[in-house]
Amino acid sequence: MICPHCDKRLLRRERPDLTCSTCERRFALDPKTNDLGISDVGIRRLTEKLTDGGRLKITVEQLCFAATRRNRTAGRGRDGAIGCSLIGLPISGALLAVGAHEGGNGLVFAVFGAVLLIGVVVQLIAKLVGTRREEKLPIGYFRSTVLARWRELYGALPPGVVDRTAHHDAALLAGTKAALFCQDSSVLVFLEINKIPQKYEIVLVTEARAIPEAVPVIVLHDADPAGCLLTERIRETLPGRRVIDAGLPPRSVMSGKGTASLRGPRPEPATLYDLRATGALTAAELAWLAKGWTGALAGVPPVKLLAAVVRVVERATAAVDTDRRGAEALGFLSWPGEEAAR
């Protein structure tokens, strides 16, 4: 690893007790002794990337998802390993059988068969062990081990990281153009600390009962069965209201680019029926969700998440501005004697 203080590349024996043998200064993380396999330099580089060079602020949850990404099984990882095994095992068995039948002339087949069999078994074990390891790295572990040690040594979190998950629903203010509804409070904190409500004149809410009246509703959700049904549930609750599904769509996670997949319990048949009935998901997305795969908003790279939200918010608020300008032109917002009538 590289010393975060003097940039000296250190062998394991050259960094006893989390101390650099060159500059004799302590560091917080040794990649060989923490489950994430990450160092101080690794955390700094990761934070620099997630904050877009300091342009953004991010939450602890977003840093945790990014830091544990390598330890999570990709959406097709375990299934892919099993699929390879189903193909590789018969082929290796056939090669071994040919080798045994041919005797000395079949030695080459036997060797190839043995090598293939060993490779398939090693890959399958590695994937299954990786899946179990994912369960050992929750946000609690990240806070109590990685961040606690970081704070102890450096006295604060890495630059740009904010440790605040509590979001309090705000009241609707005059001029508010839209409401953004999301059940993940940490995601709303991310939008809040990056000044999205002030910049676009929107209000952030975590509970359906707190959604204000008379403004469009933007729904932001995880790529899981409950999230994919959330927009329809809100539309049923607010008939006649403009409700916009901002994602996260499963297909954006299935691609494996940027957002890590998570594995959970398989949804109930009734839930799958409801998902299919919405007509909003492709057959591939439904099959992916049926296997228990999901994706979390907090796991989306912050730059990508912010860009997607801003794009939807700009469209929603532009429509509101158009409606208001049309009303003003007709005088609907300034009836004579309006104040007296009130």
- 246: domain CATH number is 3.40.1360.10
Are 119 and 214 in a shared domain?
no
Q: Which of 36-45, 92-101, 161-170, 297-306 has the lowest mean pLDDT?
A: 92-101
Q: What angle do CA 97, 100, 102 make, to 5 degrees?
A: 105
Contact between 302 and 58 (Cβ < 8 Å)? yes
Reference 276, options 228, 236, 221; nearest CA is 228
Residue 151 lies in a domain: no
Q: Which of 19-33, 64-78, 258-272 has the lowest mean pLDDT?
A: 64-78
Q: Which residue range(s) make up the domain with 87?
A: 77-134
What is the pLDDT at residue 240?
87
Residue 56 lies in a domain: yes
Are 272 and 182 in a shared domain?
yes
The tokens for 59 are 């939450």
Are 30 and 113 in a shared domain?
no
Are 53 and 91 in a shared domain?
no
Are 221 and 249 in a shared domain?
yes
Are 66 and 84 in a shared domain?
no
Are 174 and 302 in a shared domain?
yes
The total number of structural domains that make up the chain:
3
Whether pLDDT at 183 is above 60: yes
Reference 262, options 274, 275, 253; nearest CA is 253
The tokens for 14 are 């050259």
Mean pLDDT of 99-111: 54
Are 170 and 316 in a shared domain?
yes
Helical (H) or strand (E) element with 261: strand 261-263
Reference 288, options 251, 257, 325, 342; nearest CA is 251
pTM confidence score? 0.73
In the chain, helix, strand, coil percent, each to 5?
A: 55, 10, 35
Are 195 and 124 in a shared domain?
no
Are 176 and 318 in a shared domain?
yes
Residue 239 lies in a domain: yes
123 confidence band (pLDDT: 50, 70, 90): low
Are 66 and 19 in a shared domain?
yes
Partnered with residue 25 across adjacent β-strands are none
Give tens-digit pLDDT for 193-239. Answer: 999 999 999 999 988 888 888 889 999 999 999 999 999 999 999 88
Are 122 and 208 in a shared domain?
no
Residue 336 lies in a domain: no
Distance in angstroms (rounded) separating the CA atoms of residues 227 and 215: 21
Residue 110 DSSP code = H
Last residue of a domain, one of 134, 154, 177: 134
Residue 334 lies in a domain: no
Residue 144 lies in a domain: no
What is the pLDDT at residue 208?
83
Residue 307 lies in a domain: yes
What is the pLDDT at residue 326?
44
Residue 194 lies in a domain: yes
